Structure 1
Amino acid sequence: MYIKNPYEIERRSFEIIRSHIKGTFNEGELNVVMRMIHTTGDFDYENIVVFKNKPVDCGIEVFKRGVNIFTDTKMAYSGINKRRLKELSCSIDCFIDDEEVFRRAKEKDITRSMASIDKAVDLGFDVYVIGNAPTALFRLIEHIKNGNVSPKLVIGVPVGFVGAKESKEELRKLDVPQITTVGTKGGSNVAASIVNSILYMVG
């Protein structure tokens, strides 16, 4: 015998996750951490997630007002709840396959992820969700330092072994609302889970 009802499966999953968490988080942070663990099956996220400048509260506030969200990958884009975004009058874009981004990347000899960030900054996006490309996060950091953008929220959880750890360390030096992970872990699925957890908290 096994549980077949999807709502019961999720309820039981979060019940199990909650019983294993030992860290001290406020209610909003706890919701984020539990969804990260639920998405990955990895309890280590409790130990490596970093919240800076009340990012959950900031996220709830900006999502209430309706906001443009940038994400670096189609996977993160696909994983974020579009119905909830529509209810809150929020929009989301991923420019990785955009023709202009291809052209910019080729002309400047940079990654498409970096060119995507450039386009998002030009268009005035306020929320940046980066789950895959360290070069995207490094580029966003450059724009912040140069005064080109002042994000309302950054979810910076790129995954990998070349630049991922370092890009997140650099972001944590900046005074912007942010959620990051320490080390190499992260990913587009993790980024999407963070966004969704905040979306579900908006009243």
Structure 2
Amino acid sequence: MRGGMIRDVAPEDIERLSFAMIEEEFFDQTGLHPESFDRHTFRIIRRVIHASGDFSFARSLVFHERAIPAGIAAIRQGRAIVIDVSMGAAGINRGLVERFGGRVICRIGDPGIAEEARRNGQTRSETALRRTMADDPGIITVGNAPTALLTVMKMVERRQLRPELVVGVPVGFVNAAEAKALLRQQDYPFITNTGRTGGSSIAVAIVNALLHIAEIREEN
């Protein structure tokens, strides 16, 4: 078997080593110094790079000025975290969410969602997010469907939802970049990125980074 040298790394050390490698390569890959970001912003960027293997997120991620404190506050208050797809829900660190008294909610698999979506000419993600009003989510996370992010923004505008933070990083060619550009114009806390890239793994990485930051603050 050919290839580079395979490292012998214990499973529990993989994340730590990966973070160290990201920090070591960060300037060469991005032209930016880690110290040019505040420590919490860099923690989120680092985890997104870890999830994607893509250093370009160091420049493409966009943070509202109140995004990180708003997200931490929502987590520590035990507010629900709503996410658009089941794959994303599976990746969020539920142990940390529950430690703060919160829960992870994804309604895309709820009974009747598929039929309601077909009836209304919507995506399932869009329809599922419309059902979250009663959950009073603190963080709403979209990594898959741009239509779902557009729905969230409309519901926030109409005061049907009042999240502390919107994480919107849908991936795709149709309306993904445009939906995120619209999110960047909002005056409420958000984390998003520019362009067509994104996805559930990026959304999950952002939420998990916020959870770890909230945990560190609690311990301190």
Q: If the TM-score is normalised by the length of the shorter chain, which range does it land in?
A: over 0.9
Instruction: State the Cα RMSD in Å.
Output: 1.5
Give identity over the alignment, percent: 33
Structure 2 unaligned runs (5+)?
A: 1-5
Q: Distance in 2 between matches of 1:96 and 1:111?
A: 10
Correspondent of 1:16 among 21, 26, 39: 21
Distance 1:101 1:122 in 2: 16
**Letter of the structure 1 residue corresponding to residue 14 of structure 2:** I
TM-score of the pair, normalised by structure 2: 0.87
After the TM superposition, which residues 95-106 of structure 1 pair with which residues of structure 2 at under 5 Å, given as runs?
Answer: 95-106=107-118
Contact kept, 8 Å, 1:168 with 1:181, in 2: the verdict is yes
Q: Which residue, 66, 73, 80 being the options, matches 1:54?
A: 66
**Residues 128-150 of structure 1, C-alpha deviation per residue, up to 9 Å, x if partnerless?**
01001100001111112222222
**How many residues are paired up?**
203
User: Where has structure 1 moved over 3 Å in runs of 4 or more?
Assistant: none
CA distance in 2, matches of 1:196, 1:3: 26
Is it true that 1:29 corresponds to 2:41 in the alignment? yes
Q: Which protein, 1 or 2, shows the higher relative CO under an 8 Å CA cutoff with sep ≥ 6?
A: 1
Q: Does residue 1:180 correspond to 2:185, yes or no?
A: no
1:9 and 1:37 map into 2 onto residues whose CA distance is: 14
1:43 to partner: Cα distance:
0.4
Supply the distance in 1 between the matched residues of 2:179 and 2:138 (Cα, whole angstroms).
19
In the alignment, is residue 147 of structure 1 matched against residue 159 of structure 2? yes
Tell me how far apart the structure 1 counterparts of residues 81 and 116 of structure 2 sit (CA, whole Å).
21
Kept in 1, the 8 Å contact 2:64–2:190? The answer is yes
Q: Distance in 2 between matches of 1:51 and 1:161?
A: 22
Distance 1:108 1:82 in 2: 32
Compare CA radii of gyration and give the structure with the larger one. Answer: 2
Q: Give the gaps of 5 or more residues in structure 1.
A: none
